[in-house]
Structure 1
Amino acid sequence: MPFSSSSSSSSSSSSPDSKYNLTSAIRAQTQFLTHAYTSHNLVIASYMKNMDNQPPRHEGSTFGHRVIHCDREEADRRLWNDYFSEYPKYSEAMFRRRFRMSRNLFIRIANVVKGHDNYFVQRNDRIGRLGLSTLQKVTAAFRVLAYGIPADEYIQIGESTTIESLKRFCRAIVDVFGERYLRAPDANDVARLLQIGEKRGFLGMLGSLDCMHWTWKNCPTAWAGQYAGRSREPTIILEVVADYDFWIWHAHFGMPGSNTGINVLEGSYLFSNLANGIAPPCHYVIQGQQYHTGYYLADGIYPKWSTLVQTIHEPRGPKKKLFAMMQEACRKDVERAFGVLQSRFAIVKGPTRFWDKCVLHDMMSSCIIMHTMIIEDERDEQADIQGWKEAPTPEVDIARDENIIFQEFLARHRQIKDKEAHYALCNALIEHLWE
């Protein structure tokens, strides 16, 4: 009991002291927080006062962004008077040299793009000021493709607007004109190409096949090894089939630069219609032998297929030397097509600085489409094609049995890669050219 009484008296005597200490601690903490809040508000008030006394540091909606006021109305009038008015300052020849195409074709493209994408329609901004015109945006995008540099000083257009116009312009070109100018040759085209090939000594020739590499400067680091080829720089491969007047009938773009021509050929859709049995008819006779499949001229890296004809390495004898000389001369069509494409559109010749692969695909496709449109607009329709006849529409019997369809597909696929048929065709062409 003595122990219990002393413990109770000790706890009762310490209870008032504990309450006093807790109250003092709360009062001290409250005073500290009040002082801190007051000091913080004084700092904020002092900062705001100093900001009010300073001149404005920026204009516009982006902090630190300095707005450059461009006289786009005057630039639009100048562009119109220089190239598109009824009596322009520069002649048609000057327009053709600077815009890579005729004035009528350029205006046609601009009107079609304007009708496809409302971005190219001239509108007023938030303050009622007239925005960039259709010709300004289209000219700025086309100048990037043709010269690889922007036209901001002459057009009075900003860098970001130029890039946006370029992306939308290329997308509109592919959407509107891709179906016509990126198509495979139809029956009438095949008939015309066969006649041209016959006049050049190669019966059954449909064009020349080759690849080119487009350097990708801003390739993502994770993809650099995949896209780096023998040049040790990331590149993207373009596979092309071109005819005698540089018309590009087939374009397959996007394969990494580490691939060879054989890999690209295996991954492309060049012979897909032929393997599926829906290719246009192609009939010709060489040395009394009938053939029903056209072929393309290619270099020595491609495989020995019945649809490809290569030159002869180190030919011996006058017949083989003549064949090698004529094959290499005709195969230069695709090499020259690459040169013309790069001379017209400098962005294809130099390294590209865009990141998105889809944007690169649209840019390359739009350049090929406009290249083909220029050829269609400028070539002589009466040259070398006076006697061509319209080919009949092929009649296709649809097989209902899926097993039969698959077996026919395999047979056509084996026929395309038939090495013996390749050598027989080359020997027949050698004899035909010698005669």
Structure 2
Amino acid sequence: MSNASLLTGQESRFETKPKRRGQKACEYALILKYEFFQLRYDARGRQWFTTLQKCVVAIRLMAMGESPDTMDDYMRMSERTARESLYTLSRGVVETFGDVYLRKPSLHDLQEFYAAHEERHGFPGMIGSIDCTHWKMEKLSGSMERAIHKWSTRITFVGVRASDAPFTVNGNEYKYGYYPTDGIYPQYSTFVKAFRHPVEERDKFFKRRQEGARKDVKRAFGVLKAKWHIVEHAARPLYLETLRYIMYACIIMHNMIIEDKGRNIAHYILTEPRHVQFQPGTVDYLHRVVDIQDANKHRQLRKDLADYIFYGNNNDNE
């Protein structure tokens, strides 16, 4: 059966329901790319599960956080087929839509992040927060937990391979954006920590605003966990790659929903040049690492932000 024949008789349904175009586009992309989602028949000529049924089961498992064996009562589907639908859909969503919805931020994207966070939180040059959530693991070996920890801690060097997106605060220019963090992170120029024991009124005010900005970003990630309960529950799959695909697929579909509602901050521009990625071990890469790990810049940035936020918001100071 050709790929063209698979879409016959379904295009009219796609055109008459504009609100479901994103869902149908995802469904058709999976049909064209993966044999698992194509309509097939067994040796007796009986039709197997359709693409829509497999997608519904996979999305239900992600949204409800249920076990694959519960699909037997819901759709008369075996545990093995339900689990395979979940894994294949997650991988298909990442491989098909990852270049758009999981792209590394370009210079234009970072500038839009700066403007949005400064308008909402009062922090110029802020990208986001890196300590959003932790996906608790269940029944994992020690080696896998160490691998997951190693994979998750790579974000501490964020900015090394990102585009240069300079910003100015309090009259000083900085080359990279930053993330508000708590006290456990190192003193990097891309991290902004609150004062541990603030004494002056300026430091106390900055601590309140910094913690408020971090919690606001955490609440945004909480919306993701509320929509996709599989992220909130303990992880069941046995392979790290599968966990990665499931997490990324939830993020991609969450970004699709936000974009469909018109609430996305950054907008994808096809013709926009992508960021320049520096290879580890090169001179430019090492210079960026040294620049990011500069503790003096870390302290200077926090001081400039504290002055900018406090003296620029005297009317809001309590």
Give TM-score, length-normalised by structure 1: 0.60
Q: In structure 2, how many angstroms separate the alpha carbons of the residues matched to 1:168 and 1:377?
A: 24
Q: Tell me the residue number matched to 1:309.
A: 192
Cα displacement (A) at 1:145:
1.0
Distance 1:266 1:208, change over 3 A: same
Amino acid paired to 2:27: A
The question of 1:134 aligning with 2:46 is answered: no
Q: Is the 8 A contact 1:194 1:206 kept in 2?
A: yes
Structure 2: give runs of 5+ residues left out of the alignment. Answer: 1-9, 267-271, 312-318
The question of 1:202 aligning with 2:95 is answered: no
> Where does 1:255-294 land on structure 2 (aligned, <5 Å)?
255-256=148-149, 264-266=152-154, 270-274=158-162, 279=163, 281-294=164-177
Q: Tell me the residue number matched to 1:49.
A: none
Distance 1:118 1:268, change over 3 A: farther
Q: In structure 1, how many angstroms separate the alpha carbons of the residues matched to 2:133 and 2:263?
A: 28
Distance 1:87 1:414, change over 3 A: closer
Distance 1:138 1:352, change over 3 A: same
Distance 1:318 1:210, change over 3 A: same
Cα displacement (A) at 1:212:
3.1
Runs of 4+ in 1 over 6 A off after TM superposition: 84-88, 392-396
3-state SS of 1:169 partner: helix
Amino acid paired to 1:271: G
Structure 1: give runs of 5+ residues left out of the alignment. Answer: 1-79, 93-101, 228-234, 237-253, 386-391
3-state SS of 1:290 partner: strand
Q: Is the 8 A contact 1:218 1:354 kept in 2?
A: no
Q: Tell me the residue number matched to 2:5.
A: none
Q: Tell me the residue number matched to 1:171.
A: 91
Q: Tell me the residue number matched to 1:328.
A: 211
Q: In structure 2, how many angstroms separate the alpha carbons of the residues matched to 1:288 and 1:268?
A: 27
Q: Tell me the residue number matched to 1:67.
A: none
Q: Is the 8 A contact 1:210 1:334 kept in 2?
A: no
Q: In structure 1, how many angstroms separate the alpha carbons of the residues matched to 2:14 and 2:299?
A: 60
Q: Tell me the residue number matched to 1:161.
A: 81
Amino acid paired to 1:272: V
Distance 1:119 1:296, change over 3 A: same
Q: In structure 2, how many angstroms separate the alpha carbons of the residues matched to 1:315 and 1:282?
A: 30
Amino acid paired to 2:30: V
Of residues 409, 415, 422, the one that matches 2:285 is 409
Cα displacement (A) at 1:393:
6.3
Distance 1:214 1:408, change over 3 A: closer
The question of 1:370 aligning with 2:290 is answered: no
Q: Is the 8 A contact 2:169 2:305 kept in 1?
A: yes
Amino acid paired to 1:171: R
Distance 1:346 1:310, change over 3 A: same
Amino acid paired to 1:139: V
Larger Rg: 1
Of residues 36, 49, 64, the one that matches 1:119 is 36
Q: Tell me the residue number matched to 1:215.
A: 136
Deviations 1:175-205 (A, max 9, x none): 1112222221112111211212332321111
Distance 1:115 1:285, change over 3 A: same
Distance 1:144 1:208, change over 3 A: same
Q: Tell me the residue number matched to 1:11.
A: none
Q: Tell me the residue number matched to 1:354.
A: 237
Of residues 276, 294, 302, the one that matches 1:418 is 294
Q: In structure 2, how many angstroms separate the alpha carbons of the residues matched to 1:305 and 1:154?
A: 51
Deviations 1:213-253 (A, max 9, x none): 3233232xxx33x56xxxxxxx68xxxxxxxxxxxxxxxxx
Q: In structure 1, how many angstroms separate the alpha carbons of the residues matched to 2:58 and 2:186?
A: 40
Amino acid paired to 1:134: T
Amino acid paired to 1:314: H
Distance 1:416 1:136, change over 3 A: same
Q: In structure 2, how many angstroms separate the alpha carbons of the residues matched to 1:380 and 1:136?
A: 29
3-state SS of 1:216 partner: coil
Give TM-score, length-normalised by structure 2: 0.80
Q: Is the 8 A contact 1:143 1:151 kept in 2?
A: no
Aligned-CA RMSD value: 3.2
The question of 1:345 aligning with 2:228 is answered: yes
Q: Tell me the residue number matched to 2:22.
A: 105
Cα displacement (A) at 1:85:
10
Q: Tell me the residue number matched to 2:106.
A: 186
Q: Tell me the residue number matched to 2:60.
A: 143
Q: Is the 8 A contact 1:209 1:334 kept in 2?
A: no
Q: In structure 2, how many angstroms separate the alpha carbons of the residues matched to 1:131 and 1:172?
A: 20
Amino acid paired to 2:287: A
Q: Is the 8 A contact 2:195 2:207 kept in 1?
A: yes
Q: In structure 1, how many angstroms separate the alpha carbons of the residues matched to 2:57 and 2:86?
A: 8
Q: In structure 2, how many angstroms separate the alpha carbons of the residues matched to 1:187 and 1:358?
A: 30
Q: In structure 1, how many angstroms separate the alpha carbons of the residues matched to 2:131 and 2:189?
A: 17
